[in-house]
Structure 1
């Protein structure tokens, strides 16, 4: 069932979603124009689009294990995402927020935005897909767009004890790019089979 949730998509579709999250439209733009627009908006986060070719894109449901290992992107110096985390992960940031131990100033991170997303989740809303990237055989995945949404998801999971699988656009780079997603799907299938065996 998990494998069926992952589909290969074009970079045009993934980049259009990313641009939309930045408040821009991809309508009428060529593939190169979309990339240039995204690089202009997010020069650091989107740098891999030209630096780490080839890039293959997938739309997938991010399972609990992959989500727990998600790491925030290295953003501008004013955004100290990783310094906020107890272990370098998105969940590590949410843990500090949940415990009330996150610094109240100086991180550059919008706690208000995170709380708004958390409140939307509590109201039963779903958030826009995250954009994450990985390299062949490398885990964990890194969020390149959606840190605030991801932290809100983790915080909501800590509060409720339940993680509702979030969808995401996954960029895979490296020589054998298909292998990374294939490994992920293989692990999903093995876990599903393991649960079925345990239930017999």
Structure 2
């Protein structure tokens, strides 16, 4: 069962879409040391979304047209392992590495790689960063939320946080330990028939 079914049955507390946009925008700004924008100075949705799309064009497809309810919750281990990587052409980016789109399949491929550096060169997704994360994450690590989207087209996918999610899946495979991962989850209102 994926996280969208849990949302449908449990109806967790929702969060405002602007909270999710502001959170993601803040993360993008923190990654760019020359970006001085303060997301708290932006009051309206359009300003927030424009600022985010300028930094992360993918956000337009997440927030631009779809009518979604947003939730903040802790993913179960099963839900995390069942997530797909970010949407896109099947032979590009994360999709080129994942079998069936699943993040867990990338973790399995990293684990099975005889030479991680060579594998990383084949698929330039910085898989050594993923492996380092998996080796160093612990229950003491402060984890950022994933941005997850569930739509009418299938399994929920990660819009932001693919490296971290694959690293968590790899950590589970290596150690058997699941560390709670929080996520903002957006679900098409049409899919779960909520208002």
Q: Aligned to 2:77, which of 46, 53, 64?
A: 64
Q: Number of residue pairs matched? A: 176
Is residue 2:24 matched to residue 1:18? yes
**Contact map agreement 1:55 1:173 (CA 8 A) in 2:** yes
Q: What root-mean-square deviation, in Å, do the aligned CA atoms of Structure 1 and Structure 2 show?
A: 2.8
**Contact map agreement 2:75 2:182 (CA 8 A) in 1:** yes
Find the aligned partners of 2:70 and 2:139 in 1 and give their Cα distance.
31
Find the aligned partners of 1:177 and 1:43 in 2 and give their Cα distance.
27
Find the aligned partners of 2:87 and 2:123 in 1 and give their Cα distance.
13
Structure 2 runs not aligned, ≥5 long: 1-5, 31-37
Structure 1 runs not aligned, ≥5 long: 180-200
Q: Which moved more, 1:15-24 or 1:86-95?
A: 15-24
Aligned position for 1:32: 46
SS class of match (1:98): helix
TM-score, length of structure 1 as denominator length: 0.76
Counterparts in 2 of 1:116 and 1:158: CA distance versus 1, 3 Å: same
**Contact map agreement 1:78 1:107 (CA 8 A) in 2:** no
Counterparts in 2 of 1:49 and 1:171: CA distance versus 1, 3 Å: same
Q: Which moved more, 1:10-19 or 1:98-107?
A: 98-107
Aligned position for 2:176: 161
Aligned position for 2:103: 90
TM-score, length of structure 2 as denominator length: 0.77
Find the aligned partners of 2:168 and 2:96 in 1 and give their Cα distance.
19
